């Protein structure tokens, strides 16, 4: 009789231990998910992208906004500012000239999703997952890195301190946003295939 009671107690204890372990594991998993959501940048998707971008632009891009423009601000918001990145941001004029993106036209209605896709592709060509300030590039020398999309970037520096990346010259260097280093470029860094896809269609003209 006592033996069966002891077995019942052991079985009850084992069930309680398993339940306790399951609860602890569940709580830990929820905690990890919660922390991850706080740390990772929220990527705009679908119709929510317009509202998210407007909030981000108004609240986070401040003194550098006049240099990087609205589309440059979109690029930077795609990256976590607490991690080291270098971004060769096209100037507002370069976005308009090379990609035919207009602030008053490309950021409204259904065009917003297409604009976001183009800007995110440009960000993939233009961002390097490391810090690269202008002082790290020797005058007359060349350094090369792969962008986060794997596109090779060849960086040189002119005697006036401006950087040249794949033959595109910078307008401003060494701006900062958190851990991100920004260089504003007078052109858009992109591969030949993407460049061809965004070129004006001459047949329409």
Distant-in-sequence, close-in-space partners of 122: CB < 8 Å, separation ≥ 6: 75, 90, 99, 188, 189, 190
In DSSP terms, 142 is beta-bridged to 156
Per-residue pLDDT of 111-163, as tens digits, reads 788 888 899 999 999 999 999 999 999 998 999 999 999 999 999 999 999 99
Report field, pTM of the whole predicted structure over 0.85: no
SS3 182: strand
pLDDT at 170 > cutoff 50? yes
Query: Measured at the alpha carbon of residue 155, what is the angle toward residues 93 and 192, in degrees to the nearest 5?
Result: 60
Least confident of 4-18, 108-122, 187-201: 4-18
d(CA 47, CA 2): 68
HSE, CB side, 13 Å, CA atoms: give it for residue 169: 6
Residue 86: the pLDDT is: 97
Residue 55: the pLDDT is: 31
- Can you point out the beta strands (E) in 33-112? 85-90
Q: Cα 107 from chain centroid?
A: 18
């Amino acid at each position: 009789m006592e033996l069966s009671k002891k077995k019942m107690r052991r079985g009850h204890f084992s069930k309680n231990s398993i339940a306790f372990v399951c609860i602890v594991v569940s709580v830990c998993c929820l905690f990890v998910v919660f922390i991850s959501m706080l740390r990772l940048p929220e990527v705009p998707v679908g119709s929510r992208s317009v509202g998210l971008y407007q909030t981000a632009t108004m609240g986070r891009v401040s003194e550098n906004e006049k240099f990087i423009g609205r589309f440059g601000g979109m690029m930077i918001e795609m990256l976590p500012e607490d991690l080291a990145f270098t971004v060769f941001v096209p100037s507002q004029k370069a976005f308009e000239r090379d990609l035919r993106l207009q602030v008053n036209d490309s950021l409204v209605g259904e065009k917003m999703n297409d604009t976001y896709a183009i800007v995110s592709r440009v960000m993939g060509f233009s961002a390097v997952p490391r810090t690269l300030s202008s002082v790290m590039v020797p005058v007359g020398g060349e350094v090369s890195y792969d962008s986060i999309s794997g596109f090779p970037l060849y960086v040189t520096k002119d005697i006036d301190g401006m950087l040249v990346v794949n033959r595109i010259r910078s307008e401003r260097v060494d701006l900062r946003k958190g851990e991100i280093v920004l260089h504003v470029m007078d052109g858009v860094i992109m591969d030949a295939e993407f460049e061809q896809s965004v070129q004006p269609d001459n047949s329409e003209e």
